[in-house]
Structure 1
Amino acid sequence: MSSSSVGEVSPSRPTEQVKTKNTDSDLNLDTLNSTEIQNKFSELKTSPKGLTSIEAQDRLAKDGPNAIQAHEESRWKKLLGYFWGPIPWMIEIAAVISFLRADWPDFFVIAGLLLYNAAIGFWQDNKAANALAALKKGLALKASVCRDGAWTSIAATDLVTGDVVTVAAGEIIPADLLLINGKYLSVDQAALTGESLPVSKKIGDGAYSGSIARQGSMIGLVTATGNNTFFGRTAKLVASAGSKSHAEQAVLRIGDFLIILAAALAVVLVGAQLWRDLAHNAIWHWSEAGAIAQFVLVLLVASVPVAMPAVMSVTMALGALALSRQKAIVSRLSAIEELAGVDVLCSDKTGTLTQNKLTLQAPIPFGTAKADDLVIAAALATQKESTDAIDLAVLKALPENNPFGTYKRVDFIPFDPVNKKTVGIVQDTAGHNLRYAKGAPQVIAKLCGLTEGVISSNDSTPTTEYFGKVSELASHGTRSLGVAVSHDDGKTWVLLGLLPMLDPPRPDAAATIAQAKKLGLSVKMVTGDDVAIGSEIAHQLGLGEHLLKASDIFSPDMNPNKIPVDAARAVEAADGFGRVFPEHKFEIVKALQERGHIVAMTGDGVNDAPALKQADCGVAVSGATDAARSAAALVLTAPGLSTIVNAIVEARAIFERITSYIYYRIAMTIDIMFLVVASYLVFGFQPLTAIMIVVLALLDDIPIMTIAYDNVVTSPQPVRWDMHRIISFSSIMGIASLAESFGMLLLGIAWMHTPWLMEIVPLTTAHLQTMIFLQLAAGGHLLLLVVRTRHTIFRPPYPSRPLFLAVVGTQIVAVVLCVFGILVPALPWIMIAVVWAYALVWMVIIDGIKIFTNLQMMKREKNSQKLSHPISDK
């Protein structure tokens, strides 16, 4: 929720003030006279006015940037890491065996495969790291620092010891500080010290880097930066790149399955060969053992999905790049894939569903106050440098001839999410101190002793009229701001009136919500405003109008980590929530997750951070605080919900591309492995040489990476990993492909036993091996084109240009190898034409099998849904 909602009035923070602001006007030097603070200034060779730019540059060059300097492996060590592990070991052993047997063609091709895998992995690792670094530049924390006697905003990494900085609610403390000026600061340092509650700080206290300012605003002296901070000494940094998404975990499990399957079939192959050699020939040669070992290892290599890391990183990186063009920064690449399964989107109202461009309507004064008096009073409870939407609307509405400039600012109490008001303490021309407050209507009413539903015996008119006007304005979707004044240092307050403000829905909000519903998302509004205001906006946007007051669902003593079933059901059934406090957002997310939903939650405030972290995909909206952006997986730099919906569409497209790769990879592994084993057991014939299997692995992996660019049909509903369906469908496609390959083997054998065909084109076993090789190369890529869509291959979306050109180019290479006998026995053109005609016919057959299989699976899925939800179908 935007800080500019009625429930979250938020004046500007010190970091938003003009750069020419002089430090002497802010630092009360009398507060700096304590011995400890004066000693610290002397020790750091600085002053209350901060450092000069030259001094700061010298210290930055000496001490380094204000960042945790994590140890990074050298590029050479990273590169060598790609030659270490189970998969590289298998390839390396196969290469060594080929070398010892002086089988140079196999050796060079296998060694080439090893170098290819290492190069691809190394390139993708650097590409992903560079992409994330570039994207995260937009997330760099800022700090408001006093340099050369003037306030300016710089990157937090440029802070040095001796700098004087400001810290306000919603910001992450950029370095270790000694607080030297200001009223108070409440700091949440639980992540560092384990304290469960925020700690109140005063002048002379320290504040740790990495902790979060919850309330207040103070000025601090930087005492330590980078690795010398408390955070740098104690925090255990975990690289986000080490975490794996559901997609990565699924593909890794499938990779393990393929390797185990290949190993089992390899054992069968070795056993059959040993039986034949020992039982029939009774002769054993070590050269035969080497040949078998080499072939088995190459067979295992062929089963490994070597393109898996490249496919995952390329598809995710392209998704992040596409979203960055749409004003969204992905802080974790895995967040894109997680979005594919989101089925509930909890959205802020202000600034996300509405324009956050408030216009002040006609003031509603009470008592003897006049309309202009009401606006002036609200302006006196506002910082004139503020960029907040409410504050700008108030300041813009000031009458031309007003005494605003005659008042002297004494103090200012900024907004915080608990008190929900701002208070300006000013001195008039007569020297009297006055306090002006503006904030949520309920808060100002309580301040003035008014209670909704309770009529005061002294004066019932303000109570009934005040709350009546608030309800009337809310029923029309108009927010209101209460204003009050105190002449006695805040002991008693006098109600001045209400300022109605209108924040209309964003022009694209209704269409975006309609699109989200088409995607199977349940959109729930979350607002700090009254339920009546939320309901009116929900009505205008086409959302459900069943909004609940958050406090009616969540009691103060409720354990947020264990939401009662009734409360969780109420949250699930609601269309939105009004009068939401920050802690309610976390409870809303937990309740929905306990009901089995995958939740995306938007937020912008520091108190939204727990909810953003808890959500399956936390989204920091435009203008969010540093704390919210750090906790979120997706950071929007443009207002509105459309980017989130676009991200969901992109995530589902990535899901389709990854599953297409999985279908293809499992099917081809089943095809090659079972073909080799079955043909050897049945006919005693080795359909592929070791070098053919290696070349096939290369030809398969090169075009598969371009699937990251493929055109796909995204699912109209949230998608989740269904391993049963993936294995079942892939196995059926693999068996169909095996039938195709085995049919080619039978066709070749029949050809060699048909005299008149042999007269036309003489065929040898070496030619038959090349035919099988070409059929697997052609049929494999045609299979990829088949499994990439659920409907027939002859309907759009057709393959993308990169994918299509990669397939065509690879097939040209395969044909050239067969024609000129490169690495494989040469094959006549007429047999190449026969193989391709055969592969195209089988493409149509497998396409029909695919359509039939999908129809049967869809029927079974619908029947299982009916059994799971029988009441909803009645």
Structure 2
Amino acid sequence: MSETAVQPGHDDGLSAGSSSSATTMNGDAGAGKPKRLDAAAIAARFAELKSSAKGLTSDEARARLAKDGPNAIVAREEPLWRKAVAYFWGPIPWMIEAAALISLARQDWPDFIVVTGLLVYNAAVGFWQDAKAASALAALKKGLALTSRALRDGAWRTIDAADLVMGDVVDVTAGKIVPADLVLTGGAYLSIDQAALTGESLPVSKAIGDSAYSGSIAKQGDMQGLVTEIGDNTFFGRTAGLVASAGAQSHSQKAVVQIGDFLILLAAALAVVLVGTQVYRTMVVPGHWSLDQAGQIAQFVLVLLVASVPVALPAVMSVTLALGALALSKQKAIVSRLSAIDELAGVDVLCSDKTGTLTQNKLTLSTPIPFGGVHPEEIVDGAALATKADSDDAIDQAVMKAISDPQALARWKQTNLAPFDPVNKRTMTTVTDPQGKTWRFAKGAPQAISALCKLDPATETTYDDKVDELAKHGFRALGVARSEDNGKTWTLLGILSLLDPPRPDAASTIAQTRKLGLAVKMVTGDDVAIGSEIARELGLGARLLVASDVFPKGADPNRISLDAAHAVERADGFARVFPEHKYEIVKSLQETGHIVAMTGDGVNDAPALKQADCGIAVSGATDAARSAAALILTAPGLSTIVNAIVEARKIFERITSYVYYRIAMTIAIMLTVVLSSVLFAIQPLTAIMIVALALLDDIPIMTIAYDNVRTAEAPVRWNMHRILVFSGVMGLMATAQSFGLVLLGLEWMNDQALTAWRPIDPSHLQTMLFLQLAAGGHMLLFVVRARGSMFAPPWPSAPLFLAIVATQVVAVLMCAYGVLVPALPWALIGVAWAYVIGWTIVTDVVKLIFNRTDAGRERVGPLAAHTASLR
């Protein structure tokens, strides 16, 4: 259950603290909640809203509806056409579009069709992933009441909930959804389940003067209330507003933009060199120019643009992430946004709900504490006899499950049940035993039972001390008493202590998360005492803060003070958490440089889940939480999250291996094209060759999603400095390899001995370079995919290895039979492959030297030190 509750109210007046704190258990009197209004304050609210206990007239309601608008959440969604256009806007799309326009201008149809097809494919993949995710606001709107009973013109009428206005008087009965934010003004009793809004795991007992929130569900009773807020201004609506404003660009999206920017700058610099050289060579030196010459220069620029664009980068990343998402689904984690995978891999702080994630989400009775020589079983039986047998209340169910002999207790007949009274905070029953004797039993808040029994001072002191001791250890206390004289005198039976116990695997899982470099922070709506006890048992640390102490009421959640951010960073967890607190906790941690995962399950959790780098909807979450989350768990417990983190880190390693390879090969192709054009006035590759290379290289590498990798021991994130430097070094090695082949080919043409053995012409050289790039690219992938030697484990997976072998067979056959490229004799194919193998070994040695001198830079750095300090 969601953890944003404070001191849950309950139809037994259950105490989570000392006897003096039990008053906070009823209605809205808990810490951080609105205070119960007295009669004068209620009258002031009626006057403020220009209403009365008789409600509004139809004319007044129509005027207010026209002025304030309907009682509904206004969706503010970006149009689909604008989302679609966005996929054609950005550094990489710009480069692809420029290449397509030049191809169109020159009527180079093969190039135009291939390049445009890749552009549309990349946009379609991104748009499909975005459209597939359900709208969080749409899910929120499903939780609103459809109709409501309102007092109009002095009579009760059933109207659409959307037509309610401030100042209306409405009636809320059991089973109905509260239609707007209310102040309860009439009626005897109402029990409301507001777990999906405030996270309270138990129904809250309401009385006159209390608030009731839009979207909560009435469980018992019948009361009337004054509508104080509607639509977007309700507690429910503000949550929806936070969902709409939450969220940020993912780290993978930023990385792709940075890679595109880097390649654009490099391509622009090389284009200046290339165009300047060609203009000087073809126009300045001859002293005249022509459109044909200008077209040739444009053709050179086209080749450079196509070479500079990693056309398949977005597509390969999307497919790799999609295959990774399939692997995560086997770990009971469903990905709703593909970017969640690399976010999850980089998470260094995990904010976890207590109930249902760290604990079992079921109250369990501990050893009863008897008074006056009573046997412990008598206390449990007494509490069971003071309970409705078929109750679905969590505490009642815990009591009924603890009965040692249900058959013996079934012979007792319950003749009367007085349900929980919010004033005296207890439940009372009248029963007859098998002999026909009448007894009365009561259970409820400890101080309520103490007052009922009229304890002597010594017993009362002992009793209060036991309650306080239980509170310090995080137990909830329930007093039990009985009467043999129809309630004239009462005997204290004892105290029942209840606790939601930790999950059996929680402590070991938390220890594992710390080995992975994560700091786990508990987020609970319970009091500090309860949270601290669970934290102690799980080894989480004792630094639990009351959320309202860190984030004062009324503070702007988007403007977190530096002191608050540092306090959040140092804390081990948070108690008495409300919806806005979760959002603020996430924002604080993000502002101090952390990548944050936040768990949640209720409507109230949606803003924090959307704002978090990786929002995690736990098993059994509401539709709104699932829609806002990036990761949806289908199994309970923290271990599922840890398994997903391990899998995400593996996926991240596979993606970074591809990025190293792709940037390095793009650099190699660009530099080879420019150097060959500038130094030797030749065009080493055609545009169609470059596009074919992109397809040959990248399509089989989609199987990198199945590759064998080592799991990082610490959170990983996009370290662009390391990525660009390492990719640059590997790119220079690949350039040396390719340009070296050009030099070798030119020398071959002028060497009589070599030409006598095997003649070679410029078309052969073009094809040899094409084959070298196709083979050398995949060999380079084998080099960059491992920090150690390429010949050491973990070795490439069978799918990746076989896909690359198949691709190389296709490339060799293309060269041998002249498909899209000039035909190449088999002997020269063998020369090209021998050349590639030799250079690959040299490149692997250079990589080992680089990694040895650059050891540790790929780690998270300050975050690793921070998480280590929390171990």
> Under a length normalisation based on structure 2, what TM-score does the superposition of the two structures give?
0.72
- The C-alpha deviation readout for 1:830-860, integer Å capped at 9, x for no partner, is 1111111111111111111112111111166
Post-superposition offset of 1:527: 5.4
Q: What is the match of residue 554 of structure 1?
A: 549
Distance of 1:523 and 1:133 partners within structure 2: 29
- C-alpha spacing 1:36/1:805, structure 2 compared with 1 (3 Å): farther
> Relative to structure 2, which stretch is displaced further, 335-344 or 245-254?
335-344
Preserved contact between residue 128 and residue 313 of structure 1 (Cα < 8 Å): no
Say if 2:363 is the partner of 1:363.
no
Preserved CA contact (<8 Å) 2:366 2:499: yes
Q: Distance in 2 between matches of 1:260 and 1:168?
A: 66
Once the two structures are superposed, what CA deviation does each residue of 1:552-585 show, in whole Å capped at 9, x if it has no partner? 9937858875777777666655555677787776
Assess, with a 3 A threshold, how the Cα gap between structure 1 residues 634 and 178 changes in structure 2: closer, same or farther. Answer: farther
Answer whether contact 1:9 1:422 (CA < 8 A) is retained. no
Q: Note the C-alpha offset of 1:693.
A: 2.2
Q: 1:811 to 1:3 in 2, by over 3 A?
A: closer
**2:376 paired with 1:406:** no
Q: CA deviation at 1:826?
A: 1.3
**1:269 match:** 274
| Amino acid aligned to 1:761 | R
Deviates more, 1:175-184 or 1:572-581: 175-184
Identity of aligned residues (%): 54
Cα distance, 1:97 vs. partner? 5.8
**Contact persistence 1:480–1:498 (CA under 8 A):** no
Instruction: Pick from 465, 468, 474 the counterpart of residue 467 of structure 1.
Output: 465
**In the alignment, which residue of structure 2 is the partner of 1:667?**
664
Amino acid at match of 1:483: G
Preserved contact between residue 775 and residue 833 of structure 2 (Cα < 8 Å): yes
Partner of residue 114, structure 1? 116
One of 358, 377, 395 as aligned partner of 1:353: 358
Amino acid at match of 2:274: L
Which of residues 280, 300, 306 is equivalent to 1:301?
A: 306
Give, as a single letter, the amino acid of the residue that structure 2 aligns with 1:281: P
Q: Which residue of structure 1 aligns with residue 157 of structure 2?
A: none
How many Å separate the matches in 2 of 1:78 and 1:552?
Answer: 37
Give the Å deviation of 1:670: 1.3
Of stretches 667-676 and 315-324 in structure 1, the one that deviates more from structure 2 is 315-324
C-alpha contact 1:527 1:579 (8 A) present in aligned 2? yes
Counterpart of 1:829 in structure 2: which amino acid? W
Q: Is the 8 A contact 2:661 2:780 kept in 1?
A: yes
For 2:476 and 2:848, the matched residues in 1 are separated by: 59
Aligned partner (choices 277, 282, 287) of residue 287 of structure 2: 282
Deviation at 1:822, TM superposition (A): 2.1
Give 1:493 shift: 12
Moved more, 512-521 or 548-557: 548-557
Residues 359 and 501, structure 1, Cα contact 8 Å, conserved in 2: yes
Cα deviation digits, residues 459-512 of structure 1 (max 9, x gap): 14323344346537976xx8343226799xx9x999763213465543333432
CA 1:483 to 1:637, structure 2 compared with 1: closer, same or farther past 3 Å? farther
Would you say the 8 A contact 1:212–1:627 is kept in 2?
no
Q: Pick which of 271-280 and 792-801 moved more.
A: 792-801
Q: How big is each residue's C-alpha offset from its partner over 1:356-390, in whole Å with a ceiling of 9 and x where there is no partner?
A: 45543443244698756644664577665555654
CA separation in 1, counterparts of 2:428 and 2:845?
Answer: 78
Highest RCO, 1 vs 2 (Cα 8 Å, sep ≥ 6) = 2
Q: Is 1:854 matched up with 2:860?
A: no
Going from structure 1 to structure 2, the CA distance change for 1:612 and 1:729 (only over 3 Å counts) comes to: same
Q: 1:507 to 1:563 in 2, by over 3 A?
A: same
Corresponding position of 1:636: 633
Given the superposition, is the C-alpha separation of residues 447 and 832 from structure 1 closer, same or farther in structure 2, using an over 3 Å criterion? Answer: farther
**Residues 382 and 482 in structure 2, CA contact (< 8 A), matched pair in contact too:** no
* Alignment partners' CA distance in 2, 1:594 and 1:78: 28
Distance 1:567 1:494 in 2: 50
Match of 1:687 in 2: 684
- How far apart are residue 293 of structure 1 and its match? 0.8
SS of the residue 2:714 aligns to: coil
**What are the residue-to-residue correspondences of 1:226-241 with 2, within 5 Å?**
none
C-alpha change, 1:586 and 1:840, in structure 2 (3 Å) is: same
Query: How far has the Cα of 1:309 moved from its partner?
Result: 2.5
Which segment is superposed worse, 832-841 or 626-635? Answer: 626-635
- Give the counterpart letter for 2:478 in structure 1: G
Are residues 867 and 316 of structure 1, via their aligned partners in 2, closer, same or farther at CA, if it must alter by over 3 Å?
A: closer
Q: CA deviation at 1:681?
A: 1.8
* Structure-2 residue corresponding to 1:747: 744
Measure how far apart 1:317 and its partner are.
2.9
State whether residues 383 and 443 of structure 2, in contact with CA within 8 Å, keep that contact through their aligned partners in structure 1.
yes
Q: Secondary structure at the match of 1:795?
A: coil
Q: 1:482 is matched with which residue?
A: 478
- Return the alpha-carbon distance in structure 1 between the equivalents of residues 634 and 137 of structure 2: 12
The CA deviation at 1:828 is 0.8
3-state SS of 1:340 partner: helix
How far apart, CA to CA, are the structure 2 residues paired with 1:864 and 1:329? 30
Give the secondary structure class of the aligned counterpart of 1:547: coil
Q: Would the alpha carbon gap of residues 396 and 764 (structure 1) be closer, same or farther in structure 2, given more than 3 Å must change? A: same
- After the TM superposition, which residues 317-466 of structure 1 pair with which residues of structure 2 at under 5 Å, given as runs? 317-366=322-371, 374-375=379-380, 378-379=383-384, 384-387=389-392, 389-398=394-403, 400-401=408-409, 406-408=414-416, 411-412=419-420, 424=427, 438=444, 444-445=446-447, 459-466=457-464
Give the secondary structure class of the aligned counterpart of 1:789: coil
CA distance in 1 between partners of 2:788 and 2:174 (Å): 57
Structure 2 CA distance, aligned partners of 1:240 and 1:570? 25
2:819 is aligned with 1:825: no
Tell me how far 1:740 sits from its aligned partner: 0.8
Shift of 1:641: 0.8
- In structure 2, relative to structure 1, the CA distance for the partners of 1:68 and 1:616 (3 Å cut) is closer
Q: Secondary structure at the match of 2:855?
A: helix
1:797 to 1:141, Cα distance in 2 relative to 1, 3 A: farther
1:262 is displaced (CA, Å) by 1.1
Match of 1:837 in 2: 834
In structure 2, give the amino acid aligned to 1:808: V
Structure 2's unaligned 5+ residue stretches are 13-52, 59-72, 148-159, 164-169, 198-203, 226-230
Distance 1:349 1:711 in 2: 35
CA RMSD of aligned residues (A): 5.8
Amino acid in the other structure paired with 1:307: A
SS of residue matched to 2:632:
strand
User: TM-score under structure 1 normalisation?
Assistant: 0.72
- The 1:36–1:438 alpha-carbon spacing in structure 2 relative to 1, beyond 3 Å, is same
Matched letter for residue 786 of structure 1 = V
* Structure 1 residue 85, shift from structure 2 partner: 8.2
Q: 1:654 aligns with which of 651, 654, 672?
A: 651
Give the aligned residue type for 1:767.
Answer: H
Structure 1 residue 175: Cα displacement: 10
Unaligned runs of 5+ in 1: 13-33, 40-65, 147-158, 192-197, 222-226, 451-455
Provide the C-alpha distance between the structure 2 equivalents of 1:167 and 1:747, rounded to a whole number of angstroms. Answer: 88
Relative distance call for 1:128 and 1:550 in structure 2 (3 A) is closer
Across the two proteins, how many residue pairs are aligned to each other?
771
Is residue 437–residue 483 contact of structure 1 (8 Å, CA) maintained in 2? Answer: yes
Q: Is the 8 A contact 1:554 1:584 kept in 2?
A: no
- Residues 678/862 of structure 1: CA separation in 2 closer, same or farther (3 Å cut): same
Separation in 2, partners of 1:568, 1:135: 27
CA contact (8 A) 1:356 1:389 kept: no
SS at match of 1:639: coil
| Distance of aligned partners of 1:119 and 1:447 in 2 relative to their CA distance in 1, 3 Å threshold | same
Q: Contact (CA 8 Å) 1:262, 1:300: kept in 2 or not?
A: yes
CA distance in 2, matches of 1:172, 1:281: 85
Contact 1:512-1:642 at 8 Å conserved across structures: yes
Structure 1 residues 214 and 804: alpha-carbon distance in aligned structure 2, compared to 1, 3 A threshold: farther
Cα offsets for 1:723-748 (capped at 9, x unmatched): 21111111111111111111111111
The AA in structure 2 aligned to 1:459 is P
Query: 2: CA distance between counterparts of 1:522 and 1:539?
Result: 15
**Could you tell me which residue of structure 2 aligns to residue 47 of structure 1?**
none
Q: Residues 518 and 435 of structure 1: is their aligned pair in 2 closer, same or farther, counting only changes over 3 Å?
A: same
Distance 1:639 1:88 in 2: 41
| 1:644 shift after superposition | 0.7
